[in-house]
Amino acid sequence: MSRRIKLLVLIVAAVAVVFVGGPWVYINVIREPAADSFLDTVTTTTVSETDSTPTSVPQDVNGVWKVTAESQVGYRVDEVLFGQNVTAVGRTNAVTGSITIAELVVTAAEFSVDMTTVKSDEPKRDAQFESRIMDTLNFPTATFILGNPINVSPTALSSDVTHQATGMLTLRGTSKPVEVSILSTVRGDGIVLVGQIPIVFAEWAIPNPSIPGISTEDSGLLEFNLVLGR
């Protein structure tokens, strides 16, 4: 083998180590695993993870319930980073809103998220999210407004119950009706609402997040874990 061919082989090998081995080491050794989905962790969700004081389950859920600081909303998107499969997760607790329950019927619900505060484990990803992808400068807020009332089953006071909700979701300036399954759980003296909404990027005028070296699916999940208190 000539010296030139050997040199080319070494260069190719070095490139392979940098662009394949490097990402593999980062993803599998250095990078922290993506956070579990809210639905996966709902069985251990409490109204306050730091409050060890036992509280009784509210027997009367009628009234107005407001979003508390423990609430989180975010995204989950599958990526291929230089040939390695990863899951990108970004979240924020800058969530406001409330639901109104009257005679075991959710008569109104409205939530708002400050999209400028959504963060992941990657500053470069966050920069893309804020600018090209979600354009938070022009569309800083995402909202959901309940469309039809939801009947609350009496069993929801003592066990996890799934409800179907319809409403108007506004994301990146685009408003569309959506239907979502919501798992409701009574925890202590509060209510936890957990679920996810599939988001096809093109349907919401969201540019595909893919960039050179990183490719994504054409859709992702909007996840929420809403902790409500009186």
- Both 206 and 120 in one domain: the answer is yes
Give the per-residue pLDDT at 148: 96
Question: Worst-scoring range by mean pLDDT, 29-33, 44-48, 64-68?
Answer: 44-48
**Among 6-10, 21-25, 63-67, 216-220, which is the least confidently predicted range?**
21-25
Tell me the pTM: 0.80
Q: Is the pLDDT of residue 115 over 70?
A: yes
Whether 20 and 47 map to the same domain: the answer is: no
> Is 74 found in the same domain as 23?
no
Least confident among 5-9, 10-14, 124-128, 165-169: 10-14
Q: Are 40 and 25 within one domain?
A: no
Backbone φ and ψ of 188, nearest 5°: 60, -125
Residues 6 and 73 in one domain: no
Domain count, the chain: 2
Residues 211 and 125 in one domain: yes
Asked if residue 1 has pLDDT above 60, the reply is: no
Q: Which residues contact 178 (CB under 8 A, 6 or more apart)?
A: 144, 166, 167, 168, 169, 197
In this structure, the strands spanning 105-114 and 95-102 are antiparallel
Give per-residue pLDDT as tens, 162-203.
Answer: 999 999 999 999 999 999 999 998 887 899 999 999 999 999
For 70-113, the pLDDT digits (tens) are 999 999 999 887 678 889 999 999 999 999 999 989 999 999 99
Same domain flag for 190 and 107: yes
Residue-level pLDDT at 58 = 63
Same domain, 24 and 49: no
**What SS3 string covers the chain?**
CCHHHHHHHHHHHHHHHHHHHHHHHHHHHHCCCCCCCHHHHHHHCCCCCCCCCCCCCCCCCCEEEEECCCCEEEEEEEEEECCEEEEEEEEECCEEEEEEEECCEEEEEEEEEEHHHCECCCHHHHHHHHHHHCCCCCCCEEEEEECCCEECCHHHHCCCEEEEEEEEEEECCEEEEEEEEEEEEEECCEEEEEEEEEEEHHHHCCCCCCECCEEECCEEEEEEEEEEEC
Question: Sorting pLDDT into bands at 50, 70 and 90, what band is 60?
Answer: confident
- Rounded Cα gap, residues 43 and 60, in angstroms: 22
Domain that holds residue 81: 36-229
69 and 22 in a common domain: no
